[in-house]
Amino acid sequence: MSSLVNILVVGNGMVGHHFVEQLIKQQETLDSASKFQVTVLSAEPRMAYDRVHLSEYFSGKTAQDLSLTTKEEYDQWQVDIKTNAKVTNIDRQNNQVTLQTGEVLTYDKLVLATGSYPFVPPIKGNDQPHCLVYRTIEDLEDIQVSANESKTGVVIGGGLLGLEAANALKELGLETHVVEFAPQLMAVQIDQGGGAVLKDKIEALGVKVHTQKATTEIVKSDQARYKLAFSDGTELHTDLILFSAGIRPHDELAKTSALAMGERGGIVINNQCVTSDEDIYAIGECALWNNFIFGLVAPGYQMAKVAASHLLGQTESFTGADMSTKLKLMGVDVGSIGDAHGKTPESQAYTYENQPEGVYKKIVVNKDKTKLLGAVLVGDTSEYDTLLQYMLNGIDLPEAPEGLILPMSDDKPALGADALPDTAIICSCHNVSRGDIVTAVEQGACDVATIKQCTKASTGCGGCAALVKTVTDNELAARGVEVNTDLCEHFAYSRTELYHIVKAEKIKTFEELLTKHGNGLGCEICKPTAGSILASVWNDYVLEKQHLPLQDTNDLFLANMQKDGTYSVVPRIPGGEITPDKLITIGEVAKKYNLYTKITGGQRIDLFGARVDQLPDIWTALIDAGLETGHAYGKSLRTVKSCVGSTWCRYGVQDSVSMALLVENRYKGLRSPHKIKMAVSGCTRECAEAQSKDIGVIATDKGWNLYVCGNGGMKPRHADLFATDIDDVTLIKYIDRILMFYIATADRLQRTSVWLENLEGGLAYLQKVVIDDHLGINDELEQQMEYVVGTYQCEWKTTIENPQALKRFKHYVNSDKSDDNIVFVQEREQIRPARSEEKIPVKTIETI
């Protein structure tokens, strides 16, 4: 091998990118003498992105959000990359490839990571406009354009990808159908019983499922754009058709260059991922190992790691991969482990089904009931991690294996982290074992975040997050490392513990709390935290004398301080609904005080540039018009966004505005660990973007679907579907309980999204607490919320009626003058803060 090995990588999907990453990092770890010149050729117009979470593109994520790398990172690695660089030919004799542009590149080693393409069944009429596939970001852009001109969409294919595609169409507001040739959904991953439960749950979400349907022709329709004709004589009308009927390996380059191929396609590889040509590797979905193509990203990552290792002279081998998977499809939890269909000779199965709750669980065991062979979980995957480890590591089953899936079983055995061997794979996406986590802890990693950074565990699909935390915490405890949950040096309690202390002992002030349970004088951490807790429990006026030292600047002045020392004022506009008179008042106030006006993303009007001495007069004018504080300054409910719903919209199925008004007026002023945003949409077209909110409500023709714990911002999180088709009374009860449980148990400044991700048992546990009253606290949670609702006050109104409080709203204690340092500049017919160079220099007085 020459001193500089020229490597060409064809394909920059998830697996191709992982190969580059592994080659660079393994070379650094091994301190290898081998030197590589790596060039990556991507047929797509962009660099590697996350296909696993592709459907999130329709819930707000951008192509940049999905990106896995950057040109700057590749430059840092000294790796060249060419996009829009499709390879059309491989010349094995001369070790050259030809691009579509005609450019010819040479190689010493060639890595084919060309992936797969969507299979489009040979149906007559499948090539017409609005007949699309679901694979790349460009495909998603085409789907979005088509959806804007469509009312109904059909996905042909009811497998894993088909249901992902159906979710995408539903996110776009289309009436959605799934057509599947097999008798059930996800026939590869789950059995007939699980498929039946999954179908019921999917249809309950508003997606119509048609199984055992063979499409024979796609023709024009007088009822929609197209008509699907089925072999049984039935038909289905639709505007958009999305093919998601499986994948086929992108292996045409290998075929034309006479590499060994599988009978049904795929590039044949050995255990080192080398093809029939010793200079060419194949990895990912284009590769055929032992007559098997792996359609998940985790096996592709393993192949990438093995190929990189082989190039560096190591002996690592690819010997197959576990195809178990845990995912959430349209809010429905689905898990498949090992031999889910019980095909192993003499295997036996235990099945648990709860039809009212839509839960189905099955475990497959060997003849003597000592080993787990497979499992199916639909509707509740809380046992997935435990079952997977039993199967992967051949751990002996308990005497009564059925206890593993029976709910609330007294005999349910706990599989602790100690029971797992070091070889146990915790994160299959990145092939991270328990031993890798142990090593990271031994090298100084002291929390889950550092473990993720060191090992990449739980940074793929995220399904192993709970197990990663369990193993990490167990290893830290075994080494005597105590995870300190103290709020700060002044309180040896967590925020949750302080909340319960305040509530149980009826503590009303910070001084009392500090005297009884703390030490010292307090700090910038514990003071605002205690202030928030006291406000959540007792709902006092935040500017009472005993609470003043606990408030930050925004709460002190009931307005948001801006960069130039002025404040912004945000009156509450419940549900985005406002009368012309109130709108005129806001305009008159803005004009009188020369305030910059801006429509916010939460359907309110923000008024910028108010001096502190102007705030009481501004509030008075707004309150006289019937407006009140929007609490934009507090860790509390900000907005409840809404569409116009069934009152005006031809698609609306419920009165979303009335519900938004009810929700906002109920929870306004509720103080919480972090700000809360909500939304109510009048139909599944989702114009209010409810699925990106802490609490999201979407109308159905039977009631409301409730989504929880989403958020936008720096780390967007799609909300989880909590309950479906519930009535108004149940909806409010559930929201009451969720919010008060969050307030009682969340950490300091913790968003609902992070809270749920850290909540042991996750969504399933929260549903048990709120819906099933698992902890027996629902009455208490409701009573607490009723107290908060009943003691609401507009803090602006309370302030302007309190002469003592008004003394705070002066720039100077001993003068009525305003602040001369506040300077504005006119721009686009409004004011903005002057930049430093635009301010007139202040004259200085020389002293003698």
pLDDT digits (tens, 9 = 90+) for 775-829: 999 999 999 999 999 999 999 999 999 888 888 787 544 445 665 667 788 888 8
Integer Cα distance of 567 and 701 in angstroms: 44
Mean pLDDT of 61-72: 87
Integer Cα distance of 338 and 324 in angstroms: 6
Most confident of 429-433, 553-557, 708-712: 708-712
Q: Report pLDDT for 466.
A: 67
Sheet of 152-156: strands edge to edge? 131-133, 240-243, 152-156, 175-179, 208-210
Instruction: State the maximum Cα–Cα separation within the chain, in Å, rounded to a whole number.
Output: 104
Instruction: Tell whether the torsion through CA atoms of 317, 323, 329 and 334 is positive or negative.
Output: negative
Assess contact for 23 and 36: CB atoms under 8 A. Answer: yes
Q: Is residue 101 helix, strand or coil?
A: coil
Within the chain, which residue ranges are assigned CATH 3.50.50.60? 4-117+249-311, 120-245
Cβ neighbours around 139 below 10 Å, total: 18
Give the model's confidence band at 34: pLDDT under 50 very low, under 70 low, under 90 confident, else very high: low
pLDDT tens-digit readout, 230-269: 999 999 999 999 999 889 999 999 999 999 999 989 999 9
Within the chain, which residue ranges are assigned CATH 1.10.10.1100? 417-475
Q: Which of 123, 95, 121, 99 is nearest to 109 (CA)?
A: 95
Q: How far is CA 760 from the centre of its chain?
A: 17
Least confident of 89-103, 539-553, 763-777: 539-553
Task: Specify the CATH number for 4-117+249-311; select among 3.10.20.340, 3.40.50.300, 3.50.50.60, 3.90.1150.10.
Answer: 3.50.50.60
Helix axes 495-504, 526-538, angle to 10 degrees: 40
Residue 829: both structure tokens together = 């017919």
Identity of residue 377: L
Assess contact for 806 and 761: CB atoms under 8 A. Answer: no
Q: Report pLDDT for 408.
A: 56
pLDDT tens-digit readout, 197-229: 999 888 888 899 999 999 999 999 999 999 999
Mean pLDDT of 554-562: 84
Q: Which of 5, 27, 77, 92 is nearest to 47 (CA)?
A: 77
Q: Report pLDDT for 720.
A: 92
Helix axes 137-147, 160-171, angle to 10 degrees: 50
Give percent above pLDDT 70 in the chain: 93
Within the chain, which residue ranges are assigned CATH 3.30.390.30? 322-415
Helix (H), strand (E), coil (C) string for 558-621: CCEECCCCCEEECECCHHHCCCHHHHHHHHHHHHHCCCEEEECCCCCEEEEEECHHHHHHHHHH
Identity of residue 612: V
Q: Report pLDDT for 428.
A: 74
Domain 556-790 homologous superfamily, CATH: Sulfite Reductase Hemoprotein, domain 1 (3.30.413.10)
Q: Report pLDDT for 846.
A: 36
pLDDT tens-digit readout, 364-419: 999 999 999 999 999 888 888 889 889 988 888 988 899 899 875 544 555 666 77
Quick check: 129 pLDDT over 70? yes
Q: Is residue 799 helix, strand or coil?
A: helix
Residue whose pair of structure tokens reads 């097999």 in the numeric block: 182
Query: What kind of architecture, by CATH, is found in domain 120-245?
Result: 3-Layer(bba) Sandwich (3.50)
Q: Report pLDDT for 557.
A: 84
Query: Which of 342-352 are b and which e, b meaning 16 or more Cβ less than 10 Å from the residue's Cβ?
Result: bebeebebbeb
Give percent above pLDDT 90 in the chain: 60
Domain 322-415 homologous superfamily, CATH: FAD/NAD-linked reductase, C-terminal dimerisation domain (3.30.390.30)
Integer Cα distance of 97 and 107 in angstroms: 8
Quick check: 712 pLDDT over 80? no
Mean pLDDT of 655-683: 95
Query: Which residues share a beta bridge with 711?
Result: 717
φ/ψ (deg, to 5) at 377: -135, 125
Q: Is residue 139 helix, strand or coil?
A: helix
Residue 578: HSE in the Cβ half-sphere, 13 Å Cα cutoff:
21
Query: Which residues share a beta bridge with 427?
Result: 432
Give the model's confidence band at 832: pLDDT under 50 very low, under 70 low, under 90 confident, else very high: confident
What CATH number labels 417-475?
1.10.10.1100
Q: What is the DSSP string of 456-524?
A: -TTSSS-TTHHHHHHHHHHHHHHTT------SBTTBSS-HHHHHHHHHHTT--SHHHHHHHHB-SS--T
Q: Report pLDDT for 121.
A: 93
Residue 272: both structure tokens together = 């080192």
Integer Cα distance of 528 and 671 in angstroms: 12
Within the chain, which residue ranges are assigned CATH 3.30.413.10? 556-790
Q: Which element (helix H / strand E) includes 663? A: helix 656-667
